[in-house]
Structure 1
Amino acid sequence: MQADLIEDVLYGPAQMLGGSQLEDGELIQMAREEFEGRPFCIVRNWMLLDLLLAEAQEREVRKQGLQPTVLFINHAVFDSDTLVPTGDGLITGYQKDFHGCFFESKDKLYILAGRGARKHVSVPAISALHENLSRPVR
């Protein structure tokens, strides 16, 4: 059952989205200049996951000024404060803001590079994915 949930998240139908088309080096330089002193992470192969929460849970998330959306990062290219290991597999905390190729959680700005996707997922599906990744949520 858990494998089916993860498979659906990773390989099921999703809306395709585009991130920045700049090369990694250009993105790192731009982010260092534009977001000086602010933690950021450049990511590729990403997916925005809109969580299907119970009404009370969604209200709680929104009370904190957040949206019930998380970012699944399949490959972190660069992290300015090296808290996110480069490589694969991590889920962020809830969305604070999202514009174009910038996804912001409570703690960090993520710069979305290349192609990505967006889809709705259930709480059991995101839990199964998170357990399989065995990395903390940020």
Structure 2
Amino acid sequence: MDEISIVDAMGSGQAVLMHGTDGSRDAVVTEVRASFPGKPYCLVEDWWVFKADLTSDELLRVHSAGHLPLILFAHRVVEDSQHRFHPGDWVRSSMCRAFSDGVFFETRNTVYVLLGQGHGQTASLKAIFSFF
């Protein structure tokens, strides 16, 4: 699905341009390994960070579970340290636990490293999970 299709599917929400890292692959891998020792990582490009549009009760449940209401969708995997995904695959994360420096999107099992430019947008969970 291309970017325009995703924006159209989101309805009237406005996408915001976001910036990940422009660092070299080696520098990024060194940083993610130092910052998150032993945790699998996945380098991604052409990505979207979706903020789930939740009620206050739903948001309270998300926070009490130790999550942020953020889900990552990336059109292109560059590298996955555990070889779960192949270069060129798409990936959708589980809910975020921490989002550091606009670059490191951490879930329970993986740190996704956001490369280059991407987008952020608020959307319903139904819309977010309708992608692939």
Q: TM-score, normalised by structure 1?
A: 0.78
Q: Partners in 2 of 1:35 and 1:41 — Cα distance?
A: 12
Give 1:69 deviation, angstroms: 0.7
Aligned-residue Cα RMSD (Å) equals: 2.5
Q: Partners in 1 of 2:121 and 2:14 — Cα distance?
A: 8
- Structure 1 alignment gaps of length 5 or more: 134-138
| Structure 1 residues 42-121: aligned runs within 5 Å | 42-100=43-101, 101-121=103-123
Q: Partners in 2 of 1:33 and 1:60 — Cα distance?
A: 31
Determine helix, strand or coil for the equivalent of 2:97.
Answer: strand
Quick check: 57-66 or 17-26, which moved more? 17-26
Contact 2:44 2:114 in 1 (8 A): yes
Q: Which amino acid aligns with 1:61?
A: V
- Structure 2 alignment gaps of length 5 or more: none
Q: Quote the sequence identity (%).
A: 27
Q: Partners in 2 of 1:5 and 1:114 — Cα distance?
A: 20
- CA separation of 1:8 and 1:26: change in aligned 2, threshold 3 A: same
How many pairs were matched up?
A: 127
**Runs of 4+, deviation exceeding 6 Å:** none
- The equivalent residue for 1:136 is none
